[in-house]
Amino acid sequence: MITTIALASSNQSKKNAIQECQAELSDSTPSCSVNPTKDLPQNEPVYLRHDGKSYHLWYPSASVLKWNTTSEETALLCSGANNVLEQTNKPLNVKTCSKGQEFLVEGATTAISAKDLKCKASVDGECAPNVEPCANNRGVLNKLGFNAGTGGFITYIDSCFDADRSSVLYTRHILPGAAIANAVVADAYQTWRTDGIDAKIDPDALYTQTTQFERFEALLGSKAQAEKYIEPGRTFLNRGHLTPRGDGIFQTWKHATFFYTNAIPQWNVINEGNWNNIEQRVRIVASLLQEDVLVIQGSFGVLSLPNDANQSIAISLSAAGLDVPLWMWKILKSPSKNAGIAFVTLNNPYETKKPDELLCTNVCERYGWTEQDYNNFTAGFTYCCDPNDLVRMVPHIPYEGLVKEVLTPSMLSSSAKRLSAWYHLILVVGLVHLLRMV
């Protein structure tokens, strides 16, 4: 082949010879790759890897899933009732590389394109309820992910649920920083599921704006007082994701976020305001870190509003629970640096002044996380904390959220010294895609 290239008399013949050489090398060392944004079908399976002991979620280290040799075994999972891979009629399937985007699947007779490897039905995720106590026995741990049968339960989200108040204390997940810039754009919203929720409440009914208005009228003493807070179509309480669907790399991951054990009552203008801003920033930080970051988020306290006698009334969507939180918080931690930052948002768009007591000292300006909109109360007053201070103040936050130091923008990359430089960096490297994944 070297002789062929040396004797080539034109640029075109040289190009052809090089391509032939590359093809021969490719044939001798076959490899496979799958681009999540281009090569997956509707009703995609869950991609898994086996570490010798158990299966785990598999995701790209950059833009593609890559098999370096034909001997690398991975798996495809079609979880859900009676769901199977179309080609094998089995839910869990061992898969090896053939070449390019062609794969050999145990039980199939020929190589199959990644675009054709699909489940008979959409994979929406499952809930493994009441796994163990959490939050010093205040809650029970629900696991959200994918049931692989004999392969075990594949966890994506840990959710600590206070069954007494039918309220979520926190959720925990891993955000793959090296993959998030190439995550798929979310498809249609899913149906929210009640697995892991006590039957004493009906969240589907409680989250309707009509029911919310009736509840506020009962709590606050009059229709006129309720009208100050619930304005149908304008201001109301959303099912606010804790682990956001935008953090999911695949559609299957995004679908698995639609459980009520991953939601809190959150004002819609805050959900779409500063809380959304925080979710986007966390994805940007993870992408700049290029590592698997730990994200823990949750609620604290119960929102109180004045009734028609100007008495402070704790707000819940039901007498049986589903408390409306006063605060939402989110911790982002870089395991490699043992550094993190926490964001805290007030869940009250009707507040007009900074609360007298914060959960922890505001360190936004000190560590370079200042954002002008954080002082917009309608969008949700927001401040930053040393994660260690927040963990000390909120007893149900796992100690896993503790860090050695506070994460700063200067620790992310040499060109991201200040937050004002981030958006220039986003445009340069194409990370603006991250802002569209919610």
Which residues belong to the annotated binding site for Mg(2+)? 271
For β-strands 325-334 and 339-346, DSSP reports them as antiparallel
CB-based contact 291:326 (threshold 8 Å): no
250, amino acid identity: F
List Cβ neighbours of 23 (8 Å cut-off, separation of 6 or more). Answer: none
What is the set of active-site residues?
241
Name the burial class of residue 134, with classes exposed (0-12), middle (13-18) and buried (19+) by CB atoms within 10 angstroms of its CB: buried
* CA distances in angstroms from 7 to 4, 12, 13, 15, listed in the order given: 5, 12, 9, 12
C-alpha torsion sign, points 18, 21, 26, 27: positive
DSSP string, 181-236: GGPPPP-SPPPPB-TTS-TT--HHHHTSHHHHHHHHHHHHSSHHHHHTT-BTTTB-
What is d(CA 376, CA 270) in angstroms, rounded to the nearest whole number?
10
C-alpha R_g of the chain: 25
Which SS3 state, helix, strand or coil, does residue 15 take?
helix
Binding-site residues from annotation:
271
Containing H/E element for 331? strand 325-334
3-state helix, strand, coil in the chain (%, to 5): 30, 30, 40
Q: Are 108 and 87 in contact (CB under 8 A)?
A: yes
